[in-house]
Amino acid sequence: MAYEHILVETADDVTTITLNRPERLNACPPDMAAEIRDVLADPGEARAILITGAGRAFCSGADLAGRGDQSIGGGRGAYDSLSRSYNPMMMEFTRCPVPIVTAVNGPAAGIGCSIALASDFAIAGKSAYFLQAFVNIGLVPDGGASWMLPRMVGKARATEMMLLGEKIPADKAAEWGLIYKSVEDAGLLADAQALAQRLAKGPTLALGVMRRNIAKALEMSYAVALHSEAEGQRIAGDSKDAVEGAVSFLQKRKAEFKGE
C-alpha cells in the first residue's frame, strides 16, 4: 500500500517504516500518525518492524502547521488531534504483535521522542538527541511521555527532561537507560537492521506475548503478573515454535523458528 508521509518496505521478514518528510525534519502531522498506526495495526507477514527517519532527523515532533491554526491558537485543536490521531497511534505500539526497533537518526522531539521510546529497542546515532520541548512553547508533554519517562528513567530525570526542556544526547540517553544503545552514526541503520532481523528469526508468538506482558506489568500487581505469565505460557506453548524450541534443545542445535 502506498502512503503519503511514510515509506514502507518489507524484506527478510522485517517491515521498515521510514518517516518521509525530510524537508520538515519528518515533523508528524495527524495523517502521518494515522499511516504509522495502520502499519502497526496490521504488520502482515512481517515478524519485526524497524522505524527510522529520512534525511537528517528522526522526527522533530508534531507538525503544528499541519494541524492547523486552531491547534496553535488554542488547546481544543491540540486535544482533538491527540485524541483522534496521535494517541491511537501510540496505543498501537503496545498492541503490535511483533517486536519494534527504532533507529534514531538525529532529533527525536515531542511526539517523535515518544515514537522512538515506545519501541522495544531504541538505537540512536551519536548525533541524535531526545527532547521534550513542550515547556519551551508553553505546552505540556504528550504522546504518552508523562507516563513513559518516569518509568524509564525515574522521577528526577523525567522532571529534568520535561520541566527544563533540554536536549538529551544519545550517549547520555544510553547511560540513563532511556534507550537500548548509542552507536556511531555511520553504523546506525546496519545495527538496527541486524537487530530487527535477529528478532524476526525469533519465536514470533512468544515475543508478542512477552512485549504485551511487559507493557501490562507496569500497571498490574505481582499476582496478576504471575497469572498473565501463565496465560502467556499456555498460548506460546501451543505454538509450532515451542515444539521446535524443545526439539532443538534436546538435539543440542540452534532452533529454527518459523513464526508459527
Residue 1 lies in a domain: no
Residue 151 lies in a domain: yes
Q: Are 154 and 130 in contact (CB under 8 A)?
A: no
CATH number at residue 95: 3.90.226.10
* Domain shared by 170 and 244, yes or no: no
Over residues 62-85, the mean pLDDT reads 68
* Domain shared by 104 and 39, yes or no: yes
Q: Considering only CA atoms, give the Rg of the chain.
A: 19
* Domain shared by 180 and 219, yes or no: no
The sign one gets for the Cα dihedral 10, 11, 13, 18 is negative
* Domain shared by 120 and 172, yes or no: yes
Range with lowest mean pLDDT among 5-14, 158-167, 210-219: 210-219
CA distance 139 to 64: 12
> What's the pLDDT tens digit per position in 126-145?
999 999 999 998 889 999 99
Over residues 18-45, the mean pLDDT reads 97
* Domain shared by 241 and 117, yes or no: no
Give the Å distances, CA to CA, from 3 to 39, 88, 175, 253.
10, 18, 36, 42
Which runs of E-coded beta strand occur in the chain?
6-11, 14-19, 48-53, 100-104, 107-109, 121-125, 129-131, 168-169, 181-183
Q: So what's the pLDDT on residue 74?
A: 56
| H or E stretch covering 161 | none
* Domain shared by 34 and 161, yes or no: yes
pLDDT band at 65 (very low <50, low <70, confident <90, very high): low
pLDDT at 222 over 90: no
Single pTM value for the model: 0.91
* Domain shared by 190 and 219, yes or no: no
* Domain shared by 155 and 171, yes or no: yes
Residue 259 lies in a domain: no
* Domain shared by 46 and 144, yes or no: yes
DSSP state of 186: G
Cell numbers found for residue 125: 546515532
CA distance 77 to 67: 8
* Domain shared by 112 and 64, yes or no: yes
> How remote is the C-alpha of 71 from its chain's centroid?
25
pLDDT band at 236 (very low <50, low <70, confident <90, very high): confident
Residue 260 lies in a domain: no
* Domain shared by 111 and 88, yes or no: yes
Which domain range does residue 81 map to?
Answer: 6-200
> What percentage of the chain has pLDDT greater than the value 90?
72
Residue 217 lies in a domain: yes
DSSP state of 162: I
pLDDT at 49 over 60: yes
Residue 255 lies in a domain: no
Residue 240 lies in a domain: yes
Count of beta carbons in the 10 Å neighbourhood of residue 218: 10
Over residues 5-24, the mean pLDDT reads 97
- The burial of 117, by beta-carbon neighbours within 10 Å (0-12 exposed, 13-18 middle, 19 or more buried), is given as buried
- Could you give the number of structural domains in the chain? 2
Average pLDDT over the chain reads 92
Listed residues 185, 200, 215: the one ending a domain: 200
Residue 258 lies in a domain: no
pLDDT at 200 over 90: yes
* Domain shared by 68 and 169, yes or no: yes
